Amino acid sequence: MNESNFWSFDKLFDRIVIFILLFLMILFGPQFIPIFALSDQSSIYMKIILSILFFIIYFLMIWVAYISYKKHGQNSIKQPITKSNWKMIIIAYVLSHLIEGLLSFLSTMFYHQSTSGNQQNLQDMFSTNNLTVILMLFGIIIFSPILEELVFRGYLMDALFAPKFKWLPIIVSGVLFGLAHNTSLNIFFFLIYAQIGFFLAYLYKQTNNLKVSIALHMLNNLISAIIMVKMLF
């Protein structure tokens, strides 16, 4: 790779445009269209078709993100997760969870809100029917972490920032992650998602291994999904 050519203005501008398109793809969430169409009154054939469509759309989104990352990324995605990586994942999750608890408390105190708009939307989709719950669990625990890490950590941090930058890509990644997940004007909900994004970005920057941030993201979503399902059932 020719470094000077890679970081030329026109090449960088092209990659910024690609990131904006990837960001909008995640923001609009076309994978949820089949979920909204599902209902208890849907025929068995319609349920099968919509379920398959849900997986196809998710796979296509992940494929687009992966191709983009593979073309412009600076790190191999084939690296294994080491024991020290798992320690970092656990520590990051605990710290992030503690910060989330504090921010949730402040949100309740100042805004009298304990559930973010994003969380409420997920709960609403969960409560539709049992098939929706199953599909959403696949999306939240497996597909979303892979897709979002490819975009917000892998592509964003590798394609738009030179390796010499450490904290700037971490901050930008966290802020954009927070903006993508917060649907209200509640600053504390934004900070809850942003701080998770910071930890995910920090782990990726420290390890240069996207699997590490994906694992942390999956762990975070897994525990959140378990809590959500318990609340509903």
Confidence of residue 2 (pLDDT cuts 50, 70, 90): low
Task: Give the residue carrying structure tokens 């196809």.
Answer: 56
pLDDT at residue number 4: 65
pLDDT at residue number 73: 85
> Average pLDDT of 126-139?
86
Measure the CA angle with vertex 164, ends 160 and 167; round to 5°: 75
Residue count (the chain): 233
* DSSP string of 178-214, one letter each residue: HHHH--SS-HHHHHHHHHHHHHHHHHHHHH--HHHHH
pLDDT at residue number 205: 97
Four-point Cα dihedral 204, 210, 215, 216, nearest 10: 20
Share of the chain above pLDDT 90, in %: 73
Tens-place pLDDT, residues 154-179: 999 999 999 889 999 999 999 999 99
Tens-place pLDDT, residues 31-86: 999 998 887 778 999 999 999 999 999 999 999 999 999 998 888 888 999 999 99
- Cα separation, 37 vs 199, whole angstroms: 35
Radius of gyration of the chain, Cα coordinates, nearest whole angstrom: 18
